[in-house]
Each structure stands twice: as structure tokens, then as C-alpha cells.
Structure 1
Amino acid sequence: MAETTGINEESDSTIAQIIETEEWKLFTDGASSSDGSGAGLMLINPEGQEFIYALRFEFSITYNEAEYEALLAGLRIAKEMKIEHLQAFVDSQLIANHVLSVFKARQPTIQLYLSKVRELVESFRGFTIEHVQRCQNKKADALSKLASITFAYLAKEVLLEVLEKRSIKAQEVHDLIVEEENTWMKPLKEYLELGILPEDKKEVRKVRIKAPSYKTMNGGLYRKSFLTPWLRCVDLN
């Protein structure tokens, strides 16, 4: 054991470095004011590349709830991206302590948010959360404030989404959806499932542009969304 101590220490150090380089970082911040509510989040991959998102909430929300929505959005995106190891940084000490079980959530709404966070955390092989000062979270902070007022001045490379309802709201699922045979969805479904394109050249172009945002599942057509599950498409009627 004495002869191999140095080798083991070096090996452990190498393994630790490999694990560390696999970790992604997530910075989130929420904002709520009389002008509106929004959130900003930034994912950073092991190579240091930044992925920036902004959300605007179309519902009344408190500051702590906005912070939770921001964290949930980041966790959902990380899960969709198949990230396994994630370090989360939030500038809300209360939320960090809730997740770490240092503080107990007492308000019913906050308890629901915390439960949703813990459910998503189970998706990762490794997860840590840490409270950081607002000055260490400037980009997410600025995005959340800007998104709470307007999207007009956000850069084109920032992915945007508007949430019309809370992340903790139970989603209604209708098992039976009766669709007409000839609807706006038919050309997309035929192209995605069979590779068949319309005869009209203009329609061909439209279908090819739209197709990457859609996919078929269980005979239905679904539209992609950045921060929410796939959206079921239905006929206009």
C-alpha cells in the first residue's frame, strides 16, 4: 500500500478532474415587478460555451416564485439536453437552502415548486446547488429584468419563451382527440412519416421549413417547445 500510495493519489486526482470537466453550470435569476415578471438563465458547458435563455411570465407571480420558475426552466432544459452532472447557482439564498433542506418550505405554493425541483433533480447523476451573490450572477440577473419588461431589445442569439401558466400547474390530458383526415397537419405528417411532399412547389418549401419543429408520436403531430413538453397539435376547428 505504501508503494502504491503516490499512484493512487495521482489516479484519484485524474478521475476527479475528468468528473469535474463533465459538469455543466447553470445560473438562474427571476424578477418580479409591477411592470411584469421574467427570468433569465445561462447554461455553460465544460468548454465554457454559454447558452442563454430568457422567459416572460404571463401570470401574476411573486419574487420567490419567479426565482423557482427560473430554476425549473434551467433544470428542464438541462434534462432535455441529457446533461448528467449539473452545478446550479442561484442568487436566492432562501431557494438554495430549501433545496438543500436547510430551511423548510412553509407556503403551499412554494412547497409545490420545491417538490417539482426535487423531482427534476433526480434526472441527474450529479447535482449541486449553491447560493451566489447577485454580482456573481450579472448576466442572468440582467436578462430576467429585461425579460420582465420587454423582449424587444434582447439579442437574436438569446432563446426566448413566454410561459402562460405556472410550471407546477397540472397539465390537462385529453386521451380522445378526433381529427379530420384533411387538415393543415396532413402534409407535415406525410413528410415526417413517409417522406411524401406536396405537388405544389410553394407548399414543399413551407413543409421543409416547418418540419424540423415537429414530430409524430402515436399517430399525432407534436410541436417542439424550448421549455415545456412537446405540444399536441389539433385542427383549427
Structure 2
Amino acid sequence: MTARRLRPYFLSHPVVVLTNSPLERILTHPYVSEQLVKWVTELGEYDIQYEPRTAIKAHALAEFLTETIQLKNEDPWKVYVDGSSSIEGSGVGVVLISPTGEEIKLAVKLDFKASNNESEYETILAGLWVDRSVGAVELAPHMSSVIPKLTKEDWRVVIINYLKEGKLPEVPREARKLKLKSSRYVLIEEVLYRRSFAGPLQRCLSYQEADYVLREVHEGCCENHLGTHALARKVLLGGYCWPNVLESAQELVTSCDSCQRHARLQHRPTELMKAIVFSCPFDQWGMDIMGPFPVAPAQKKFLLVAIDYFSKWVEAEPLARITEGDVLNFLWKNIVCRYRVPRRLISDNGRQFQEAKIQA
């Protein structure tokens, strides 16, 4: 799974695997088992080098110290980080508060183009760098992008108020609906989650946060530009949810300029097909002109065809030329005189079928 997701990086750089297991001998053995064939084929396109893992004294000493030495418990340093990205540039901000109350502020402007998601990553790295510089041991991070901000218009407010304080609407029917709906939600550390059917808890997002998550998955640093259903499924599997996930994904995909420019052409009709209703035989006919065919006796090379929609009965007559008069004579002789005046005639609206007497 890692090789598939990081395929561009694996193809552009050599990969060194440090292991004490004989992986290279197993994968390059001429008699590889059938279960390993697909892995050997899939990993064969990468430049993978297997090296034995040697004992490093510094690593061994660090592990020994970590296991044996216990640091004194102290109050954690509070770290507040935030990042933003715009057309003019990207930047990150870090505020570090010591256990005694001193504040250390840092603002960094990124010298490369970054998305909102990438600026958040740089924010975390900057915060860790500042913590390491001051010698902080225990941290309490606070990211502005994950702090829940509830407003009256937020769909989560009603559910959170019921789970925290037991508030219910005054209307009994609405109160019963809220109780049933809230049974699928749980509140953990002031954050609302929804219980999924077979997966982990899904974090509930506001519509503003949902738009940010959708755009990062659809056109973020990876720029997958997934379709509607694939985008909605990936967001749900990622552990996020909000009302009308599929409709939000469809709205984003249809408004994406790149998707509209490079998407496959749709040959489906723009509206639903409508069934043609007919009540009795010889009540509705379809007409069309076929040809020209190879010339037959009497210079006849066209075929005028009429089909009854109910019984599929066919009436046809060869003609040397197709005019309004020929079509009118065909209708009178082959349809009106034999069956009756049809209620409806369906054609391709060619000029031969636009005669005033035919339209009447």
C-alpha cells in the first residue's frame, strides 16, 4: 500500500531497506512461491537496495537511556500554531507559552508556494523546532485549524447541546427526532463524532470545515481530482462526516475548472428519457425515408416507410422521388384508407413532412 501511494517518490529516488531478514534472497530466488509473485512484480520497477542493519552505539545508548532514566514530571509547554496560504504567499505563526507564563512568538514566511494543507505541516514543524530550541520536554499543542468554532447556523449545535446539557426542542415530535438522531453521535473532549457502521468514529465538521477538507482532497497537494462518488467515499473513509456529503462533493466537482476541461465527454442525454404512450393499434405511426438505394425499375431508389407503434405493423412503398405530394398520397392510400386517420404522426420533421395538409 505504501509503495502504491508513494510511487512517484519511489520511482525518482533509490530506496534503501535496512533489515536483518534475508528479504533480498527471498524475493530474488528463482523458485518464488505464487503468493510472492505479485509482490516481486510490483516492487521490481523500483530501485530497492537491501542492507543489513548494523548496531550503532549511539542508538543503543539512546535506547538504554530512554528505558532507564525517568524525567521529572513538569507542567507542559503550551504551543499554539497556525498557518495560512493565499495568492500573495504563505506563512506560519507559533506562540509558545512556558509553564511559568512567558510567551515566545515566532512568525515565518514561506519562500515557496504552498497549499493550506502544506502550510499546516510547516506550522507543526516550526512549532517543534521552537520547542526543541527552548528545551521543552512535554508539550500541549493547540492547532487553530482543529479548534471547533460553533455558531448558531452550525448543524452540530443542537446535537452538542443535547449531549452536554440535555436540551430538547419544545415540540414533542422534534424532540423525539433529536433523541433518535443523537443516539448515533458521541461527544469526546468537546468534539462531536458520529458512529459509523463498520469503521472508526467519524469527526463531524461544519460546512466551512467540510469545504476545506473537500478541496484539500480534490485539488490539494496531490491533486487527484476524483469524481463525485470517489471523492465522497474517500472523505468518509478518512474519518469525516457532515450532512449531504455526496451533494457537497458533486457541487465541488461540477464547479472545478480542471475537471470540466479535462473530463471525458458525456454521451448521456441531458434529461431523462420519456416513454411514448399509445393506446390502441394504428393510432400512432412513425414515418421515415430510406435511401437512395441502387436504381430499380421505373427509376425507383427511395423507400417511404411507416410503422405502427402498437402492433409494429409496417407499410412501405418504393418511390422514384420524395416530395410532399408523394408523402400525402402514401398516407391516403396506405394508412387512411386501410385503417383510419391516425391520431399522431412522428417523423424527423423533414421538409417532405411539413406539408400543410399533412400537419393538419
Same fold per TM (> 0.5)? no
| TM-score (norm. length: structure 1) | 0.32
